[in-house]
Amino acid sequence: MIFTEIRDSRLITVRRGGTLSDDDHHLLAIWAADCAEHVLPYFEKAQPGDDRPRRAIEMVRAWTRGDVAMMQSRAAGGHAMASARELVGPARESAYAAGQAACVAHVAAHELGAAAYAIRAARAADGAGDPIEAGRRECRWQRERLPDAVRELVLDDQRLRNDRCWSAFDC
C-alpha cells in the first residue's frame, strides 16, 4: 500500500476539495506514463502477446488529451495490474508500473506508484549486477524528466512516502 492514512491535499484535484489543478494532474499522469513506459520492455519481452500494460499507458495519455474518460484509463490500469499477477521479477513490476500510471487519471497520488514500480523493475532486471544502483539510475532518470510545474510536489511526495514505496526514491 503506497498511500498514507491522511491524503495530501496537493495531490487531490480542486474538484474534490484539494489544490491540484487539472493541468498539473495531467502533467503527473504524463510523467507516470513516461516512467512506466521506460521499463515496459521487461514486460513485453516476457509476455509479447499481452498488450494490457501498453494499452494502460496509451489510455492515460489519451485521458490527458481528453480523448477518453477517467474510468476508461482506470479500468485499463486494473487490466494491466491483472497481467502482473502471475509473473515475477521485472515483468511483474513493469506491469504494475503501467497499471499505476493509468490509475493516475482517477487518483493523482498513483504517480508515485508508477515511479516506484518502475524503479523496482529496474532493480529486478539487474539481479546479477548491482540492483540498488540500477534502481538509483532509474530514479535519477525519472527525476530528470519531471516537469518543472510539478517537480517540487513530486520530490516532496517522494520524501513523504518513500518508506511506503520500498525506499525506491533514495537516489
Does residue 150 surpass a pLDDT of 70?
yes
Tell whether 4 is covered by a domain.
no
Does residue 74 surpass a pLDDT of 80?
yes
- Compute the average pLDDT of residues 67-84: 98
Does residue 151 surpass a pLDDT of 80?
yes
Taking the CA of residue 32 as centre, how many other CA atoms within 13 Å lie in the half-sphere pointing to its CB? 40
Q: Which residue has the cell 546479477?
A: 128
pLDDT at 66: 98
Tell whether 19 is covered by a domain.
yes
Tell whether 1 is covered by a domain.
no
Beta bridge partners, 13, equal: 20
Tell whether 2 is covered by a domain.
no
Tell whether 171 is covered by a domain.
no
User: pTM to 2 decimals?
Assistant: 0.96
CA 114 to chain centroid, in Å, comes to 1
pLDDT at 60: 98
If one counts the domains in the chain, the total is 1
Tell whether 55 is covered by a domain.
yes
Cα 13 to Cα 95, 99, 101, 162, distances in angstroms = 26, 20, 17, 22
Q: State the Cα–Cα distance between residues 41 and 47, nearest whole angstrom.
A: 10
Tell whether 170 is covered by a domain.
no
Structural domain span for residue 112: 9-165
Q: Give the tens place of pLDDT for each residue, 21-58.
A: 999 999 999 999 999 999 999 999 999 999 999 999 99
